[in-house]
Structure 1
Amino acid sequence: MSTVQISASDVNKLRQQTGAGMMDCKKALVEANGDFDAAIDYLRKKGAKVAASRQDRDSNEGVVIAKTTADGKRGVVVEVNCETDFVAKNADFVAFAERVADVAVNESPASLEDLKALAIDGIKIADLLIDQTGKIGEKIEVSKYEVITAEKVVPYIHGNYRLGVLVGLSADVDAAEEAGKDVAMQIAAMNPLAIDKDGVDSKTIEHELEIAKEQIRAEGKPENMIEKIAQGKLNKFYKESTLLNQDFVKDGSKNVGQFLDSVAKGLTVTAFKRVQLGA
């Protein structure tokens, strides 16, 4: 049994360093005979045990963070998950997710696994996830990481961190930031499949055409008219499902492509990412 006296200030100091609970910090210092480094190791091992016990849990709550570099040329969106809405709304959890996003912005990792291998304050994010699980008592995970580059990237977070959007524009013109936000809100609301019809994959096109033809046959239309009518239905699909062809939510008299062209001649979207919590 340790004879070292553990003071309240020692416990508080360890709590400030680790974020663990007061009783856990006191126990860690007692077990480590007052050695702070050993106490931190104790807490991290405890976190690993808790993490192992939570691996079969679903972590469908959390936050989505979208950010860009200072020059606005590159943007990232990350999803950091927990198990309950209560934790998702906790300021410390949101701050942790923000720091993960900051690392993604600053270091530009090539993949989600590469992101987890990067460090915050000298500790790998993968290890910090275990630490957070130990402190919070819920499974904490980074489940999504997306990145785009463009002449102008605009980030948007919707619904109390429940959905994040990145929009890449073809030019950094006056009013690009405001226009990008408007288009990002369009993407959040309308969830387009692609930028325009050229971005829709051939399997989706074939599937939509087949559905259209079955509908037309069911209506009793002549066989020689089916192909033409099906193409018309496909054009309607493009209008509803591709970003530049969608009616602009803030002004239904024009589509998104026309709106951007009215902001600056030739301005268009070159890339976008939409990440919805749990989707």
Structure 2
Amino acid sequence: MYTPVAADVAKLRNTTGAGMMDCKKALTEAEGDFEKAIEILRKKGQKVAANRADRESTEGAVIAKVNADQTAGVIIALNCETDFVAKNDNFVALAHDLAELALGKTKEEFLASDYKGITVAEKLTEQTGVIGEKIEVGSFETIEGPFVGAYIHAGNKIAAITSLSANVDGSEEAAKAVSMQVAAMNPIALDETQVSQDIIEKELDIERDLLTKEGKPANIIDNILKGKMQRYYKDNTLVHQAFIKDGGMSVADYVKSVNGDLKVVGYVRVSLT
């Protein structure tokens, strides 16, 4: 029977990320054929993936990446089943690699992309077999703009990217600061014009019902509701929120303080919490 040498086992481990014993077994079964051993490990991954297809993968690492000229960004969530795996250095490193590869692509293009000789989709299946947990890409958000900047919160559970209207002095710091705001405060929209009508109607119904129960006259309820909605927009839309680093100004005011013509034009946020 073929007995694998240590150098071959180490090479297979570095290539696939599989455990030492799995690599030894694969090489033994393949009688030393390296490519066949890789295929054996991949088939094992497919089997494990099929067995865990109905499992929930609610843990993971959320990673944001921005391209070199800072005009486009992407956030991906590499999901797994347990926090133990999510905190593993190799898992986080893989998430960073995949997020970098995702720049400029749709999710479908990304999953079909080459990652060290196999597709991303195949790599996810392979890692499911290696780790023994369901591994998949969950959230996938992209953004473009004149200038984009990102923020990943400690622990890799939340990430945000903000798009600004121009690339000017201070844009990088401003984009990161606003992305921190997005991560921390989770606004529902950029401003009042982007709040969905369903949300507006729901808030109006709630407030109207409360005012009616308080005995407010019907002829003044509409005026009161206007004030209530202005407060709602201030609390829940990004540009109107109080800036977390200086509550004396709004996010829009902060960005304008960096450059008088600068504005926030978009954002994306992904969270596992």
Q: TM-score range by the shorter chain?
A: over 0.9
Uncovered stretches (5+) of structure 2, i.e. residues with no partner:
none
RMSD of Structure 2 on Structure 1 (CA): 1.1
Corresponding residue of 1:29: 27
User: What secondary structure sits across from 1:33 in the alignment?
Assistant: coil
Corresponding residue of 2:162: 167
Q: Does 1:189 align with 2:187?
A: no
Residue 40 (structure 1) shift: 0.8
* TM, length-normalised to structure 1: 0.95
Corresponding residue of 1:4: 2
> Displaced runs of 4+ in structure 1, greater than 3 A?
none
Corresponding residue of 1:155: 150
Corresponding residue of 1:128: 123
1:128-277 aligned within 5 A: 128-277=123-272
User: What secondary structure sits across from 1:274 in the alignment?
Assistant: strand
1:95-110 aligned within 5 A: 95-105=93-103, 108-110=104-106
Determine if contact 1:11/1:26 at 8 Å carries over to the other structure.
Answer: yes
User: What secondary structure sits across from 1:147 in the alignment?
Assistant: strand
Residue 6 (structure 1) shift: 2.2
Q: Does 1:52 align with 2:50?
A: yes
Residue 10 (structure 1) shift: 2.0
User: How many residues matched?
Assistant: 273
Residue 41 (structure 1) shift: 0.6
Determine if contact 1:156/1:164 at 8 Å carries over to the other structure.
Answer: yes
State how far apart, in whole Å, the 1-side matches of 2:257 and 2:3 are.
72
| Larger displacement relative to structure 2 (11-20 or 237-246) | 11-20
Identity score, percent: 50
Residue 22 (structure 1) shift: 1.1
Partner amino acid for 2:177?
D
* Alignment deviations for residues 217-239 of structure 1 (CA, whole Å, 9 cap, x no partner): 11101110011101110111111
Residue 258 (structure 1) shift: 1.0
Partner amino acid for 1:109?
K
1:34-45 aligned within 5 A: 34-45=32-43
* Alignment deviations for residues 98-131 of structure 1 (CA, whole Å, 9 cap, x no partner): 11101111xx222x23321112122111100000
1:70-89 aligned within 5 A: 70-89=68-87
* Alignment deviations for residues 169-216 of structure 1 (CA, whole Å, 9 cap, x no partner): 001111111111111111111111111111111111111111111111
